[in-house]
Chains A and B, each alone.
Chain A
Amino acid sequence: MSPEINPFVIFLAAIFTSNMVLSNFLGMCPYISLSNEYKTASGIGKAVTLVLVITSVVNYLIYYYIIEPLQLEYLRYIIFIIVIAAMVQILEMAMDRYLPDLHRKLGIFLPLITVNCAILGNVLFMIIRNYNFIQSVMFAFGSGIGWLLAIQALAAIREKIGKNKLPPGLEGAGITFIITGLMALAFIGFSGMLPTQ
């Protein structure tokens, strides 16, 4: 049975209290490697949000109408990943056609969304927590927005400190991890505000 939570609460929770990247630490690789530039970060954030929503809808339908009735739960990881891969491929083609600029900027990172663990994590959370359809969509949308805000914030900070002199060894990934840690601490402040995970 799906839990009786207002989908909007799930949406907010996914953004703040259980932010994909800052509380669950999912989707770290693109989060670190694509946050050099604010524009690119926004682009990948939006792409991730879009992929999240599309894949949750498709995977929700596949899970409850095919996998569960046929008792194929043990295959869900494989099926989810195949679906994610296919969706990303289609999205990539569409972007190449209609948003060539963004497509060029994202380059290799777009296909890499396939293996962004935030996407698979989101789908698995939605199954484990027994969300219904509306809840799942809101959860996916919220997770995406949360990931987008997090990477935008990090990119903005990194652009700001870009010109500062850092101790050698902390440049690049080092300082990024520290910033991420501080941001995660800040996001802990939200926990307990909403009665959900």
Chain B
Amino acid sequence: MDILITILSVSAISTILAVLIIISERIFNNYGNVIIDINDGTKTLEVEGGSNLLSTLSGQKIFIPSACGGKATCGVCKLQVLDGGGELLPTEEPFLSPEEKKDDVRLSCQLKVKQNLKIKIPEEFFLVKEYKTIIEGISDMTHDIKEFRFALPEEIKFKAGQYVQVKTKPYGKIKESVFRAYSISSVPSDNKAVELIIRRVPNGLCTTYMHDHVKEGEEVMITGPYGDFYARDDAEEYVMIAGGSGLAPIKSIVEDVLEKGLDTKMIFFFGAVSKKDLYYVEYFKKLDEKYDQFSYVPALSNPTEQDNWTGEIGLITDVVAKYIENGDGKQGYLCGSPGMINACISVLTEKGIDESLIFYDKF
């Protein structure tokens, strides 16, 4: 009897408090309908206030890229908020440069929609859509890298080098969906599908899902395209450096340039530890032989004896330094781990490529 009374009274108190909180949320968090003016009146939305700008916009099918899903840890969901955003929050400060602060850039996941807003959204975000895809093919690239082909229900328009976000379904002990970003490795002209190269990360939520739980024919939601890592066409030569699954966007850019018949020269450095980490080698070697404008330089940092490796050996930075003489007319495209990218940026700037002409995707 005592136990019953205890349980009942504690639950009663908790319930009453919960109801109180819900009621006060209704009262205090009710900002009524607000109007969001996008790009100086090009588009206006009437939405219910009270939640953050990122989720308000995604509710209206405008997808702002965000890697962390609104936790203020990635700093990707930046938007220009010209009016109605209120003051900068302490959670946003670390992600914004002084110039961005001056331009009223905010993190859309932190900004709560309380009043009429005037915001600017880059045009390319309107191209971002949600796609219900079917996995059409899965192939092993290396011992820990797989390539997936996602068939799309409608055409996608993207620039070579951009990425999409994959939404996982709950699996095993994981009860929540997560979003993770992966670069597209297929060419933009192949617009009824996208291919992604995904490397298994030990205990990675999404990579484990993709590697172990997704089978051919499975339905997977993706959104995209996102990102400003794409080829600028004002260079004579692209210096491209990748490691691991960083090959994906580079492959897309190379194929795109060759397909369009542009005369941009390209040199592609691919860094790996040993031969078992290399993939698409024959493919790129053939392109190298076929096209004068393209050269392919795979480099191993630590080849084993069985590898019989005759190519370049050493850190990718040393190999790049050996091949690149000067930075004239060149642009850098880097994709790989932050350590590799930072090291490569300093090599390329030493060679005379301005930092503003080096584009990269860190992961």
Residues of A at the B interface (CB closer than 8 Å) are 62, 66-67, 70-72, 75, 78-79, 82-83, 86, 89-90, 93-94, 96-97, 100-101, 104, 107-108
Q: With a CB–CB cut-off of 8 A, which chain B residues contact A101?
A: 87
Question: Pick the contact of B28 from A66, A71, A79, A93 — CB < 8 Å?
Answer: A93
Between A and B, 26 residue pairs with Cβ closer than 8 Å are A62-B13, A66-B9, A67-B9, A70-B5, A70-B6, A72-B6, A72-B9, A72-B10, A75-B10, A79-B10, A79-B13, A83-B13, A83-B17, A86-B17, A86-B18, A86-B21, A90-B28, A93-B28, A94-B28, A96-B29, A97-B28, A100-B86, A100-B114, A104-B87, A104-B90, A108-B90
Q: A62-B13, A83-B17, A107-B90 are in contact. List 20 more A-B contacts (CB 8 A).
A: A66-B13, A70-B9, A71-B2, A72-B5, A72-B6, A72-B9, A75-B10, A78-B10, A82-B17, A86-B18, A86-B20, A90-B20, A90-B21, A93-B25, A97-B29, A100-B114, A101-B87, A104-B90, A107-B89, A107-B91
Cβ-defined contact, B89 with A93, below 8 A? no
Q: Does B44 have its Cβ within 8 Å of any Cβ on chain A?
A: no
Partner of B24, one of A75, A83, A90: A90
Q: What residues of chain B have their CB less than 8 Å away from a CB belonging to chain A?
A: 2, 5-6, 9-10, 13-14, 17-18, 20-21, 24-25, 28-29, 86-87, 89-91, 112, 114
Q: Residue A104 contacts which of B25, B89, B114 (CB distance < 8 angstroms)?
A: B89
Instruction: Decide yes or no: A82 and B28 within 8 Å by CB, A70-B9, A90-B20, A90-B21 being known contacts.
Output: no
Taking CB as reference atom, which chain B residue is nearest A78?
B10
B interface, over-half SS? helix
Chain A residue, CB-CB nearest to B5:
A70
Name the contact of A89 in the complex, choosing from B14, B21, B86, B112 (C-beta under 8 A). B21
Closest to A100 in B: B86
Nearest 5 pairs of A and B residues by beta carbon: A86-B17, A93-B28, A97-B28, A90-B24, A107-B90
The CA of A97 and the CA of B114, in the complex, are separated in Å by 9
Bound-state Cα–Cα, A107 to B72, Å:
14
- A75 touches which of B6, B18, B86 (Cβ 8 Å): B6
Q: Give Cα A66–Cα B10 distance, bound, in whole angstroms.
A: 10
* A82 partner residues in chain B, CB cutoff 8 A: 13-14, 17
A34 to chain B, nearest CB (A): 13
Residues of A close to B21: CB separation below 8 A: 86, 89-90
A74 to B36, CA, bound (A): 52
What residues on A are CB-neighbors of B89 within 8 Å?
A: 104, 107
Residue of A nearest to B25 (CB): A93
Name B30's closest neighbour in chain A (CB-CB). A97
Residue ID in chain B nearest A62 by CB atoms: B13
Q: Which residues of B contact A79 (CB under 8 A)?
A: 10, 13
Residue among B21, B28, B89, B112 with most chain A CB within 10 A: B28
B91: which A residues are within 8 A, CB to CB? 107
Chain A residues whose C-beta falls within 8 Å of the C-beta of B13 in the assembled complex: 62, 66, 79, 82-83
Q: Give the distance in Å from the alpha carbon of A82 to the alpha carbon of B10 in the complex.
A: 10
The interface residues of chain B lying within 8 Å CB-to-CB of A97 are: 28-29
- A70 to B7 CA separation, bound complex (whole angstroms): 11
Chain A residue with Cβ nearest B112? A96
A83 and B9 CA atoms in complex are apart in Å by: 13
- Do A94 and B90 touch across chains, with their CB atoms under 8 A apart? no
